[in-house]
Amino acid sequence: SLNAAQCSCCSVALITAVRCIPNVEDSNDVKAIYAGTVDDWSSRKATKIHACVFDDLIQRMPSLASLILMEPLMTAARGAHSPFLKCESIKLLSALYKHDGTVGELTKEASSSIKGCSPKVAQTLRDALGDTGLQKAKHRDEVLIATKHFVNYAKGQDVGIVTDADLCGLQEALTTVGRSCKSAGMRQMCSQLSDAISAMPRQEKMKRSKPTKVPKSSKKQKKSKK
């Protein structure tokens, strides 16, 4: 099987090929290839894929990664076949939030994709914090660090990108984890993240457009006299 160094070489070669595709961010084929690769990596015990395939894409082509990896990684974070791979999925997911677009790293479409997926990411992190399979300190700490990256990104936005319900759910999960942490440093992190969430703007609820009222017909025409 491929070792990490060999897989990294293959990953860079793949990215070089992907760069040659015109309008690659609009390519459904590239999206399908990476989505299938994430599924293989997270669900098959005998997979030859290493996480560097996705990490390299995030570091070298962050805009494309933001558009094609968000949904597959959220699925992997919930359903990967081992706690280790769940944590790796969450770590990769949080890496996407390190590119805030302030220095032109992300295209407008990629930035919109990240913001649009943020409510689902908050739910994914909340569920991971409560996942009984991720209660070992090393797994829980990885999820907390990922949550920190996510919260730092969200609180740096001019407007709210996560709903109040999702933020409250994440905050409640952090409070629960904080009570069970033996590490004073991690307890403090939970408390700081909870405080940061309290101060964050909320995503406004979409107002439902009122149905257009059909104007009542004018007075019924008088029946013509015989």
Spatial CB neighbours of 197, under 8 Å, sequence gap ≥ 6 = 151, 167, 170, 171, 174
* pLDDT, position 103: 45
Give pTM, 2 decimals: 0.84
Spatial CB neighbours of 124, under 8 Å, sequence gap ≥ 6 = 74, 77, 78, 90, 93
Tens digit of each residue's pLDDT (9 = 90 or more) over 77-121: 999 999 999 999 999 999 999 865 444 578 999 999 999 999 999
% the chain with pLDDT above 90: 72
Tens digit of each residue's pLDDT (9 = 90 or more) over 163-180: 999 999 999 999 999 998
User: How does the average pLDDT of the chain come out, rounded?
Assistant: 88
Tens digit of each residue's pLDDT (9 = 90 or more) over 19-31: 999 999 999 999 9
How far is it, in rounded angstroms, from Cα 80 to Cα 73? 10
In the predicted structure, residue 213 carries a pLDDT above the cut 60: no
